[in-house]
């Protein structure tokens, strides 16, 4: 009954505001619920759940976030609460489990999208995350569509242009092509990877060159993220005729599209390519198929490898930076070790960056925050 | 236990895919859950909720969506289900209520954002909604930031450029400035208003002129949507010194920014302004403060009014289309009636478009789908 009353109140209030444009707000006479709330070395999560029997919290800081859960306790006004020690500085995602059903935190405005799931974020401040939050000066993010003859459809891109792009109409910029992994899409690096925030901060602090960042969709059957609900084209990746179709679209369609429609410097020394997991494989394939195209190559937690001959060809073509990164508990770590050995063997100068942990976004943000400083210098 | 087992399975599977990039997918050996599923004249909603006691459905097609709820019934494998008659063609939003807590539909990829809430959508096909779904040819959506000296901050815009913009580098386009209501932000018209889909469809069918659409943030204290979590600037709207600050920023900062950075035709005959609710008020204010600037003026369910003198001045400045729209049960309907009477009285030719219903997005989509065909012709 109380809940119904609250909703009637909300409706009355809404009528004066624009009924369908309501944000979460505190109802009159009720203490606003704050969640998550960081207090010194702790963080408190809260959820109002009037009729729930069991409410739990699940977060990506946990040893095994898929299995473990933390019990929440019912307090005043049916607000369930739990206080836990603050995890190390990083961006975490979490959710509540109310009587067995996954529920997002309605009080938290910070949300990332993973595929078709929306996940509330906890950003723990610290040196590790200082470039993951909003800078003062913002670059622009756009979603242009390019026509792919190779894949037979119009496809959506995400493009970041740095702060100042609009006010310096004669200036041309270098370009980083930044590729996602399996299960991702053209918004993965923006949403989970915090690319705009990382680049904004690095550029504002003078730690990275102002650059354009292009984030394509790496799934050859998809026109755009699944959230647009455009039917996918069947794509048989086992058919040899389909091999490298996306990478060819990237190198022979996307790169020219960007260099025509944005103020990009169209030279190998001003082109970088980086990608995680499947996108790391795409990065390696692009460097094999078009060894002259990119002077900066960064496979991250990559699925993919090269023959000694391919490494030699790439070395001959000239590389300004080869940045190979992987987590030391990543299921692809052995692959990275082999790549590293091959590069050493063939004498291709490179940086081998091994971090703690596995195949996760905390590592991919760290890698971007690291190698973006080394590009185009 | 079963749930835990499922998650362990998911984790194992995830390891091969890119652990943090998982979309919703059917687990092995389980029938995929489809929700919502339209079957002829019905629609079925489904939610897996293993330990829930009461599961209900709430939707915007209901007479009173804030109060009424529909009971769902627990079926095989704890999948709760309800089948209801298909509502009239329109875009609806809905949610589940599990033991008193609001839960989104994890199976539905179609989601709109209202403030900081994410709402699953039900799109019922029909003539009413045929321009609300993805067209074949897509315009691009971008988020540039402009510097507002008037409001003392950099602010984010949403800009739609029509299909073909990139491939016709000499072509210039007319511009529609499209304003949201209180509680909205620079993404409201894109997310709830389906602006990109409506314009894509109208342009593809030859029913509207290719145009640029600019959607600013109409809250003077906000740099961008609250989802970016940028601290807001205190803004006292009762202070007379603050009056019309946003509208002045729109007319003297945003319009020049767009005309400099996009291929816009910088003439009154190629500028339109439209807005809903508070944005309808902004539309009226802009036409009072800068009567020469826009030849197309469309206040929708507008909060705001004009004096007879202001109407006379506007008439003298020249208007190609004045499109006044309101729902017949809107709490601002009386205001629209008075505006209409005033325009008649002063002999300002206009179209008075009265629709069924109230202060809701179904009307605002209908208005855009209607007046966009009449612009720049």
* Dihedral (CA of B324, B325, B328, B334) sign: negative
- Least Cα separation, residue B115 to chain A (angstroms): 4
* Helix ranges restricted to H, B138-209: 188-191, 195-204
Nearest CA in chain A to B225: A109
Q: Do B41 and B176 share a domain, yes or no?
A: no
Last residue of a domain, one of B93, B124, B155: B124
Among A21, A47, A145, whose Cβ lies nearest the Cβ of B182? Answer: A21
Any domain includes B276: yes
Task: Tell me if A227 is assigned to some domain.
Answer: yes
Residues facing residue A321 across a β-bridge: A296
Contacts of A141 in chain B (CB under 8 A): 142-143
pLDDT band at A236 (very low <50, low <70, confident <90, very high): confident
**Are B50 and A261 inside 8 Å of each other by CB?**
no
First CA to last CA across chain A, in angstroms? 65
Q: Is residue A87 part of a domain?
A: yes
- Residue pairs spanning A and B at CB distance below 8 A: 233
Give tens-digit pLDDT for B180-232: 999 999 999 999 999 999 999 999 999 999 999 999 999 999 999 999 999 99
- With a cut of 80, say whether residue B30 has pLDDT above it: no
Whether residues B98 and A102 touch (CB distance < 8 A) is answered with: no
Report d(CA B101, CA B96) in Å as an integer.
Answer: 8
Q: Which of A17, A106, A136 sits opposite B102 (nearest CB)?
A: A106
* Residue B150 and residue B92 share a domain: no
pLDDT for the residue B238: 84
Confidence at residue B24, expressed as pLDDT on a 0 to 100 scale: 38
Do A187 and A316 reside in the same domain of the chain?
A: yes
pLDDT at residue number A241? 82
Residues B98 and B159 in one domain: no
Q: Which residues in B lie closer than 8 A to residue A182 (C-beta atoms)?
A: 17-18, 21
Of B21, B50, B53, the CB nearest to A183: B21
Between the alpha carbon of residue A263 and those of residues A104, A168, B358, the distances in Å are: 41, 10, 46
Region A305-321: mean pLDDT is 96
Q: Which of A213-227, A328-342, B55-69, B267-281 has the lowest mean pLDDT?
A: B55-69
Q: Does A22 contact B117 at a Cβ distance shorter than 8 Å?
A: yes
Q: Does residue A335 share a domain with residue A367?
A: yes
- Predicted pLDDT at B31: 75
* Cβ–Cβ gap A8/B114 under 8 Å: no
| Minimal Cβ distance to A101: which of B19, B98, B145 | B98
pLDDT at B20: 36
pLDDT value of residue A18: 35
- Please state, in angstroms and rounded to a whole number, the distance separating the CA atoms of residues A242 and A232: 16
Strand ranges inside chain B, DSSP E: 37-39, 42-48, 55-59, 70-71, 73-74, 79-85, 91-98, 101-103, 111-114, 117-123, 140-143, 145-148, 153-156, 158-161, 175-179, 212-215, 271-276, 296-300, 321-327, 351-355
What does the pLDDT read at residue A66? 65
Residues A149 and A101 in one domain: no
Please name the member of A144, A154, A188 whose beta carbon is closest to the beta carbon of B21.
Answer: A188
What integer pLDDT is reported at residue B18 of this predicted model?
Answer: 35
pLDDT tens, residue by residue, B251-286:
999 999 999 999 999 999 999 999 999 999 999 999
Specify the DSSP element, H or E, that contains B58: strand B55-59
B334-367 tens-digit pLDDT = 999 999 999 999 999 999 999 999 999 999 999 9
Residue B26 lies in a domain: no
Mutate to test the interface with A, among B8, B10, B20, B359 (most CBs of A within 10 A): B20
Q: How many domains does chain A have?
A: 2
Task: Kindly tell me if the per-residue pLDDT of B10 is higher than 90.
Answer: no
Q: Read off the pLDDT band of B237 (50, 70, 90).
A: confident
Question: CA torsion sign, B107 to B111 to B117 to B122?
Answer: negative
Pairing state of beta strands B175-179 and B212-215? parallel
Q: Are residues A92 and A187 in the same domain?
A: no
In the predicted model, what is the mean pLDDT of residues A138-153?
97
- Residue-level pLDDT at A27: 47
Boundary-marking domain end, from B68, B99, B124 = B124
Residue A187's contacts (CB-CB under 8 Å, 6 or more residues apart) are A113, A158, A215, A225
A138-152, A194-208, A232-246, B185-199: which range is least confident on average?
A232-246
pTM for this predicted structure:
0.92
CA–CA dist B86, B254 (Å, integer):
43
Same domain, A90 and A236: no
- Residue A23 located in a structural domain: no
Residues B150 and B269: their CA atoms lie apart, in Å, by: 26
Position with higher pLDDT, A102 vs B4: A102
Of B69, B90, B124, which marks where a domain is finished? B124
Average pLDDT over residues A41-55: 95
Token duo for residue B27:
């687990």
Query: Are A95 and A148 members of one domain?
Result: no
Cβ–Cβ under 8 Å, residues A77 and A48: yes
B240 and B342 fall within a common domain: yes
Is the pLDDT at A368 greater than 60, yes or no? Answer: yes
* pLDDT reported for residue A30: 66
B235 pLDDT tier (thresholds 50, 70, 90)? confident
**Residue with tokens 């606003």, as numbered in its chain:** A32
One domain, residues B103 and B151: no
CATH code at position B192 = 3.40.50.1820
Tell me if B22 and A183 make a contact (CB, 8 A cut-off). Answer: yes
What pLDDT was estimated at residue A64?
Answer: 75
> Do the interacting molecules here have an ipTM over 0.85?
yes
pLDDT digits (tens, 9 = 90+) for A253-290: 999 999 999 999 999 999 999 999 999 999 999 999 99
Task: Give the pairing of strands B140-143 and A140-143.
Answer: antiparallel
pLDDT at B23: 34
Same domain, B66 and B145: no
Nearest in space to B364 (alpha carbons), one of B114, B129, B196, B189: B189
B177 domain-assigned: yes
Domain membership of residue B248 (yes or no) is yes
Least confident span in A177-186, A231-240, B111-120, B170-179:
A231-240
Boundaries of domain holding A83 = 30-124
Alpha-carbon distances of B209 from B195, B212, B231, B285, rounded to whole Å: 14, 10, 39, 26
Counting residues of chain A whose pLDDT is more than 90, the rounded percentage is: 86
- Say yes or no for a CB contact (<8 Å) between A142 and B138: no
Q: For B174, list phi and psi in degrees, rounded to 5.
A: -75, 165
In this model, does residue A21 exceed pLDDT 70? Answer: no
A363 within some domain: yes
What is chain B's Cα-based Rg? 23
**Residues B326, B332, B334, B340, CA torsion sign:** negative
**To the nearest whole number, what is the mean pLDDT of chain A?**
91
Contacts of B229 in chain A (CB under 8 A): 109-110, 134
Average pLDDT over residues A225-247: 90
Residues of A in contact with B64 (CB under 8 A): 11
Find the mean pLDDT for residues B172-180. Answer: 98
pLDDT band for B242, please (50, 70, 90 cuts): confident
- The domain spanning residue A40 has which CATH number? 2.60.40.10
């Amino acid at each position: 009954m109380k809940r119904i009353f609250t909703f009637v109140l909300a409706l009355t209030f809404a009528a004066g505001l624009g009924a369908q444009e309501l944000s979460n707000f505190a109802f009159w006479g009720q203490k606003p619920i704050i969640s998550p709330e960081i207090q010194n070395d702790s963080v408190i999560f809260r959820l109002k759940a009037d009729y729930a029997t069991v409410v739990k919290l699940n977060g990506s800081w946990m040893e095994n976030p898929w299995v473990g859960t933390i019990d929440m306790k019912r307090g005043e006004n049916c607000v369930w609460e739990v206080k836990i020690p603050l995890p190390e500085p990083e961006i975490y995602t979490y959710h509540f489990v109310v009587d067995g059903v996954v529920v997002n935190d309605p009080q938290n405005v910070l949300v990332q999208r993973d595929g078709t799931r929306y996940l509330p974020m906890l950003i723990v401040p610290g040196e590790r995350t200082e470039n993951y939050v909003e800078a003062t000066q913002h670059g622009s993010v756009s979603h242009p569509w390019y026509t792919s003859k190779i894949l037979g459809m119009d496809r959506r891109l995400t493009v970041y242009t740095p702060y100042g792009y609009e006010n310096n109409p004669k200036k041309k910029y270098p370009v980083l092509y930044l590729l996602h992994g399996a299960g991702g899409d053209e918004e993965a690096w923006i949403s989970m990877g915090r690319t705009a925030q990382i680049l904004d901060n690095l550029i504002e602090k003078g730690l990275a060159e102002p650059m354009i960042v292009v984030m394509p969709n790496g799934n050859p059957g998809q026109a755009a993220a699944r959230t647009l609900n455009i039917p996918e084209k069947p794509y048989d990746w086992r058919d040899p005729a389909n091999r490298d179709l996306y990478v060819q679209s990237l190198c022979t369609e996307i790169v020219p599209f960007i260099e025509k429609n944005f103020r990009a410097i169209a030279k190998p020394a001003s082109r970088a390519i980086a990608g995680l997991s499947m996108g790391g494989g795409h990065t390696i394939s692009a460097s094999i198929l078009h060894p002259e195209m990119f002077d900066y190559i960064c496979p991250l937690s990559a699925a993919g490898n090269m023959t000694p001959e391919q490494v030699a060809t790439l070395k001959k073509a000239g590389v300004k930076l080869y940045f190979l990164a992987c987590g030391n508990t990543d299921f692809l770590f052995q692959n990275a070790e082999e790549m590293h050995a091959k590069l050493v063997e063939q004498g291709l100068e490179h940086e081998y960056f091994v971090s703690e942990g596995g195949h996760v976004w905390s590592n991919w943000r760290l890698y971007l925050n690291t190698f973006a400083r080394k590009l185009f210098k």
